[in-house]
């Protein structure tokens, strides 16, 4: 291990800067090729240094999930943010949004008439502009695409400025579904944009995107995409086929603390890696340097890993890298990331928006 960080106590998260920068450049080029604006979701990394690199590579703005994340990134000088969430704006949140207005251009999601009215009432009419959220098949938030016009009209009646429509095609997170989800996304957004036009508004933002479906995002229908995970990638993306193990930029470093036959236990568990485990994944993460190993169990401070019979397993005390299934939840558990270039630790980045959930 490089001398600068060999004594760092495990577990910790480290970012390979070369891989990160390549991931950022690749997605930027992919968006440009299709004439799409790129507004990456920064909930994945929560780091100012990474968002700055994304903007330097051409991102037209950033996406956040919460008002608290917006506060962190506006404070750091980011001028253009979309809170891609149907925020319930009570008096307190309205005051917080007003405190951000004038310092940055803000967009926010709405998926109900009541939510739009709360926003107008507590944040005012000129604090934030609005995108109507539609459900393109993930069945989480968002109205049916054909109802986007009706909701846009209600938001307009409430005094809000409706700029367009957005969706999250989250059903791309299933093996073999990325292209299907991108198709659903384009169809839903086309219907929604037409429904908004039918009430006399021209949508200038038609926004979608997810990391698994990014390469299939339809540049004819959408104006912008908002992938997040692509900066780091993770075991889910590897298993979905959206990246190779070598394109994973963030891993946790853990120590082998127990070892029997073909099984080892690492000192990184759900309190470091997160416990995300979609049913279709092979386990609770992957080891990039041992792709034949399976992370069969995870508890708070243990990852149990099995190896095929006959394979030499890592020794007690050995450092082993592990990719989480879902890198966004790993990052939210870390106070800082070690930044590595060519095997040497060169920096540490604060996870500036860790825990910014409100």
Binding site for a second copy (CB under 8 A): 7, 9-12, 43, 65-68, 85-88, 90-93, 111-112, 114-115, 118, 139-142, 170, 255-259, 265, 267-268, 270-272, 274-277, 297, 299-302, 304, 316-317, 326, 328-329, 332-335, 355, 357-358
- The CB-of-34 to a second copy minimum distance in angstroms stands at 26
Nearer of residues 46 and 290 to a second copy, judged by Cβ: 46
Nearer of residues 55 and 275 to a second copy, judged by Cβ: 275
Integer Cα distance of 22 and 28 in angstroms: 10
- The CB-of-116 to a second copy minimum distance in angstroms stands at 11
Nearer of residues 244 and 358 to a second copy, judged by Cβ: 358
Nearer of residues 10 and 150 to a second copy, judged by Cβ: 10
Nearer of residues 64 and 340 to a second copy, judged by Cβ: 64
Nearer of residues 214 and 266 to a second copy, judged by Cβ: 266
| 192 in Cβ contact with 144 (< 8 Å) | no
Residue 241, Cβ density class (10 Å: 0-12 exposed, 13-18 middle, ≥19 buried): exposed
Nearer of residues 241 and 278 to a second copy, judged by Cβ: 278
Residue 279, Cβ density class (10 Å: 0-12 exposed, 13-18 middle, ≥19 buried): exposed
- The CB-of-75 to a second copy minimum distance in angstroms stands at 17
Q: How many angstroms separate the most distant Cα atoms in the chain?
A: 69
Nearer of residues 51 and 89 to a second copy, judged by Cβ: 89
- The CB-of-44 to a second copy minimum distance in angstroms stands at 9
- The CB-of-272 to a second copy minimum distance in angstroms stands at 5
Instruction: Extract the runs of DSSP E, i.e. beta strands, from the chain.
Output: 12-16, 37-38, 62-64, 80-83, 105-110, 129-133, 162-166, 205-208, 224-225, 250-260, 263-266, 294-299, 302-306, 319-322, 336-341, 344-350
Integer Cα distance of 137 and 295 in angstroms: 31
- The CB-of-299 to a second copy minimum distance in angstroms stands at 7
Rounded CA Rg of the chain? 21
Nearer of residues 36 and 149 to a second copy, judged by Cβ: 149
Nearer of residues 57 and 352 to a second copy, judged by Cβ: 352
Integer Cα distance of 235 and 244 in angstroms: 9
The residue written with tokens 């994945």 in the block is 44
- The CB-of-8 to a second copy minimum distance in angstroms stands at 8
| 57 in Cβ contact with 257 (< 8 Å) | no
Integer Cα distance of 232 and 249 in angstroms: 5
- The CB-of-46 to a second copy minimum distance in angstroms stands at 10
- The CB-of-260 to a second copy minimum distance in angstroms stands at 8
- The CB-of-65 to a second copy minimum distance in angstroms stands at 5
Q: Nearest 5°: CA angle at 12, between 10 and 14?
A: 135
Give helix then strand counts, H and E, for the chain: 10, 16
| 250 in Cβ contact with 330 (< 8 Å) | yes
Residue 91, Cβ density class (10 Å: 0-12 exposed, 13-18 middle, ≥19 buried): exposed
> Cα-flanking dihedrals φ and ψ of residue 209, to 5°?
105, 145
């Amino acid at each position: 291990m490089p001398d600068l960080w060999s004594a760092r106590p495990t577990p910790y998260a480290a970012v390979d800067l070369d891989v990160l920068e390549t991931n950022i450049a690749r997605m930027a080029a992919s968006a440009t090729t299709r004439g799409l604006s790129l507004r990456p979701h920064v909930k994945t990394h929560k780091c100012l240094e990474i968002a700055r690199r994304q903007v330097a590579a051409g991102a037209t703005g950033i996406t956040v999930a919460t008002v608290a994340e917006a506060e962190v990134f506006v404070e750091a000088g980011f001028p253009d943010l979309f809170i891609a969430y149907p925020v319930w704006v009570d008096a307190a949140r309205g005051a917080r949004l007003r405190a951000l207005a004038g310092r940055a251009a803000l967009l926010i999601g709405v998926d109900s008439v009541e939510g739009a009215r709360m926003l107008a009432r507590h944040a005012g009419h000129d604090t934030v502009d609005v995108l109507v959220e539609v459900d393109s098949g993930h069945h989480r938030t968002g109205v049916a695409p054909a109802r986007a016009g009706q909701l846009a009209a209600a938001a307009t009646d409430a005094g809000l400025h409706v700029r367009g429509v957005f969706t999250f095609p989250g059903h791309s997170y299933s093996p073999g579904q990325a292209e299907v989800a991108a198709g659903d996304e384009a169809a839903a957004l086309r219907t929604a944009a037409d429904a908004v036009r039918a009430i006399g508004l021209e949508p200038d933002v038609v926004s979608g995107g997810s990391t698994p479906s990014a390469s299939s995002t339809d540049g004819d229908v959408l104006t912008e995409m908002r992938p997040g995970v692509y900066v780091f990638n993770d075991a889910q993306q590897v298993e979905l086929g959206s990246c190779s193990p070598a394109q994973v930029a963030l891993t946790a470093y853990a120590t082998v603390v127990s070892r029997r036959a073909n099984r080892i236990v690492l000192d990184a568990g759900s309190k470091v890696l997160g416990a995300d485990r979609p049913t279709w994944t092979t386990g609770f993460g992957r080891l990039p340097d041992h792709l034949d190993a399976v992370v069969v169990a995870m508890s708070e401070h243990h990852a149990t890993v099995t190896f095929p019979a006959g394979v030499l397993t890592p020794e007690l005390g050995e450092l082993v890298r592990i990719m989480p299934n879902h890198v966004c939840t790993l990052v939210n558990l870390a106070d800082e990331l070690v930044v590595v270039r060519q095997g040497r630790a060169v920096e540490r980045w604060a996870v500036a928006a860790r825990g910014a959930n409100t």
